[in-house]
C-alpha cells in the first residue's frame, strides 16, 4: 500500500517536476553548453574557455557588478533598516491603525512595474517633469534625475524601493507582533530604555526574518533589469547597466550569445556562492 501511495505521489508532482526541468534546468544546461561556443547567425564554433577569458578583459562585467552592488546597497538599506524602523514605529500604534498603515505601505507592491515606471518617468522628466516643476515653483535649481550618471541609479533605486519596502515592513511587523509582551514589560521593569529593548530584545528575535529578507534581496539585486531598461535603457553612459542588463545587451543587441551565456554562468555562480554563505549563516544561527 505504501509503495502504491509513493507512485501516486510521484504522479501528482510529475507536472511540477516537468515544468521545473523544462523552464529552469534545461535552459541552464543549454546556456552552460552555449558558453563554450562562438555563436553566429550561420552557426556556432567551439572556442572552449575563450568566452570566460574574454569577460575578464571587458569592462561590461565589472561595470555590471558595480551597478548591481549599488542596487544591492539600496535593497539592504531600505528593506532591512528602513522597513525595520517602520515596523517598530507601527508596533507602537493601535492594532487597527497599524493594520491600516500596513495596507497602505503594501499598496505599491500591487502596482505593476510598467505603470509605476510610466508615472515616475514623467515625474523625473527634464525639463518639465513633475518634480522639476515643484523645484521651479520653490525657486530651486532643477535636476536631471535620469540624465546624470551619478544620480540616475539612485533615482531608479528610490522608485523600486517604494514598491518593495512595504512587503518587508509587513514581515517585520508580523514578527514583532509575535514577541511575548511580558518579555518586553519585564525588560522595561528592569530599567531598560526603548533603544535597549529594540537592540537587545526585538533585534535578536527578528533575526530569522531578517536573514530571509537578506537572502531574497541578494538574489533580487542580481536580477534587476526591468527598471533600468525602461527608465534609461542602461544609460547614461552605462551607469544603470546591471549584470542582468549586460546579459541582455550582450545577447540581443551585440548578438554574442556565447559570451552572454558565459556571463550568465558567472552570475549564477556568484548567486550560488552568496546563497551558500547565507545558508551557512542560517544554519549557524538556528544551531
CATH number at residue 136: 1.10.3720.10
Q: Which three cell numbers stand for residue 284?
A: 549557524
**Per-residue pLDDT, 286:** 62
**Per-residue pLDDT, 253:** 87
Percent of the chain exceeding pLDDT 70 equals 97
Residue 96 within a domain: yes
Percent of the chain exceeding pLDDT 90 equals 8
Helix-then-strand count for the chain, H and E: 17, 2
Residue 70 within a domain: yes
Residue 169 within a domain: yes
Residue 37 within a domain: no
Q: Reduced to 3 states, what is the DSSP secondary structure of residue 193?
A: coil
Residue 243 within a domain: yes
Give the range of the structural domain holding residue 245, as residue numbers without chain letter. Answer: 48-286
In this predicted structure, the answer to whether residue 163 has a pLDDT above a threshold of 80 is: no
pLDDT band at 124, cuts 50/70/90? Answer: very high
Mean pLDDT calculated for residue range 162-172: 85
Mean pLDDT calculated for residue range 26-51: 86
Q: Which three cell numbers stand for residue 169?
A: 515592513
Residue 66 within a domain: yes
Residue 25 within a domain: no
- The larger pLDDT score, comparing residue 2 to residue 192, is at 192
Q: Which three cell numbers stand for residue 222?
A: 542580481
160 within 8 A of 229, measured Cβ to Cβ: no
Mean pLDDT calculated for residue range 231-246: 88
- The larger pLDDT score, comparing residue 230 to residue 272, is at 230
Distance CA 134, CA 164 (A): 26
pLDDT band at 231, cuts 50/70/90? Answer: very high
In this predicted structure, the answer to whether residue 287 has a pLDDT above a threshold of 70 is: no
Parallel/antiparallel/unpaired status of strands 37-40 and 43-46: antiparallel
Count up the domains in the chain and report the number: 1
> Alpha-carbon Rg of the chain, whole angstroms?
24
Residue 35 within a domain: no
Please state the separation of Cα 60 from the chain's center in Å.
20
In this predicted structure, the answer to whether residue 43 has a pLDDT above a threshold of 80 is: no
Amino acid at each position: 500500500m505504501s509503495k502504491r501511495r509513493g507512485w501516486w505521489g510521484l504522479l501528482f508532482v510529475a507536472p511540477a517536476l516537468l515544468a521545473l526541468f523544462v523552464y529552469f534546468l534545461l535552459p541552464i544546461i543549454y546556456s552552460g553548453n552555449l558558453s563554450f561556443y562562438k555563436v553566429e547567425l550561420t552557426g556556432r564554433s567551439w572556442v572552449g574557455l575563450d568566452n570566460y577569458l574574454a569577460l575578464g578583459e571587458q569592462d561590461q562585467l565589472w561595470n555590471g557588478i558595480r551597478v548591481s552592488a549599488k542596487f544591492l546597497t539600496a535593497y539592504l538599506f531600505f528593506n532591512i533598516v528602513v522597513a525595520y524602523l517602520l515596523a517598530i514605529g507601527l508596533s507602537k500604534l493601535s492594532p487597527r491603525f497599524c493594520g491600516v498603515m500596513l495596507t497602505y505601505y503594501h499598496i505599491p507592491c500591487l502596482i505593476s512595474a510598467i505603470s509605476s515606471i510610466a508615472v515616475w518617468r514623467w515625474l523625473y522628466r527634464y525639463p518639465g517633469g513633475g518634480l522639476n516643476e515643484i523645484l521651479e515653483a520653490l525657486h530651486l535649481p532643477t535636476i536631471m534625475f535620469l540624465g546624470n550618471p551619478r544620480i540616475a541609479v539612485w533615482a531608479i533605486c528610490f522608485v523600486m524601493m517604494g514598491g518593495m519596502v512595504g512587503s518587508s515592513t509587513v514581515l517585520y511587523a508580523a514578527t514583532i507582533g509575535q514577541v511575548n509582551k511580558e518579555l518586553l514589560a519585564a525588560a522595561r521593569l528592569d530599567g531598560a530604555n526603548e533603544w535597549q529593548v529594540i537592540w537587545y530584545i526585538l533585534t535578536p528575535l527578528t533575526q530569522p526574518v531578517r536573514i530571509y529578507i537578506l537572502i531574497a534581496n541578494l538574489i533580487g539585486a542580481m536580477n534587476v533589469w526591468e527598471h533600468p531598461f525602461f527608465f534609461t535603457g542602461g544609460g547614461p553612459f552605462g551607469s544603470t547597466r546591471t549584470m542582468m542588463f549586460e546579459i541582455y545587451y550582450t545577447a540581443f543587441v551585440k548578438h554574442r550569445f556565447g559570451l552572454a551565456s558565459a556571463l550568465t554562468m558567472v552570475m549564477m555562480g556568484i548567486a550560488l556562492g552568496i546563497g551558500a554563505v547565507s545558508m551557512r549563516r542560517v544554519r549557524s544561527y538556528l544551531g
